[in-house]
Amino acid sequence: MFDRIQTIDIKMLRMIQRNFRCSLFDAVMPYISLVGNVGAVWATVMVVFFLMPHYREAGVVMFFVLAACGVLTNFVLKPLVARPSPCHTYPDQKLLVNRPTDYSFPSGHTMSSFGAALIIFHANHALGIVAFTFAFLMAFSRLYLFVHYPSDVLTGVVLGLSAASEPLVLVFAALCACVYCGKTRYRRGEEETTAGVGESGNG
């Protein structure tokens, strides 16, 4: 199953490189991705909401959602799944940004962007449309820059929206990922142990 997803992912990434690569996007996409680092743009919006009584509640919710997204992405799913970024797996691709040092799955930029955008939309529909537009550009930039797979980004969208609307869905998804990856690693360990025993017997 993972091999099939990987095949589809890389085909879509190569298609984006063939059909959308241009000097305008080469100049713009790195900056769009940059302002999403550590959720900087959404943290700025959150502070502004804190300072406005009418939007203060939304600012508080955004704080907890961004914190949850950061913890789940960087301390649970990425180290658990341990999927290398496409730029590491396919080093022939020319990069417009520094090569990322963390794992690929899921996209933290996308997750925090869509989570924050949904909160902003609930607080103000007009601002929310702008936020979702930027979130979409953020997600696309991660693909255009060849630092995430489409499945990384899609998972980030689903988890981000879940964090902002149904936090229990986010917790359930994290638990399922933990159980599945735990079983996968256990099976790999058993296979390696069996192979080691076989080699010892042959020796």
In a domain, 183, yes or no: no
The mean predicted confidence, pLDDT, of the chain is 81
Per-residue pLDDT, 172: 53
What Å distances lie between residue 116 and 50, 56, 136, 169, 174, CA to CA?
A: 14, 14, 12, 16, 19
With respect to residue 128, please indicate whether it lies within any of the assigned structural domains. yes
Distance CA 91, CA 11 (A): 15
Percent of the chain scoring above 70 in pLDDT: 80
110 is a domain residue: yes
Q: Which structure tokens are listed for 37?
A: 């680092």
Q: Quick one: pLDDT band at residue 38, thresholds 50, 70, 90?
A: low
Work out how many domains the chain is built from and give that number.
1
Residue 177 domain flag: no
Domain membership of residue 55 (yes or no) is: yes
Rounded-to-integer distance, Cα 73 and Cα 104, Å: 10
DSSP state of 120: H
Give residue-wise pLDDT tens across range 150-201: 999 999 998 888 888 765 555 555 555 555 555 555 455 545 544 444 444 4
Residue 88: inside a domain:
yes
Residue-level pLDDT at 179 = 54
Q: Could you give the C-alpha distances from 5 to 2, 66, 72, 140, in angstroms and in order?
A: 5, 28, 22, 18
pLDDT in tens, 124-163: 999 999 999 999 999 999 999 999 999 999 999 988 888 8
pLDDT at residue 182, rounded to an integer: 54
Q: Which domain holds residue 143?
A: 2-165
Chain segment 12-29, per-residue pLDDT in tens: 999 998 899 889 998 999
Residue 191 within any structural domain of the chain: no
Does residue 194 fall inside a structural domain? no
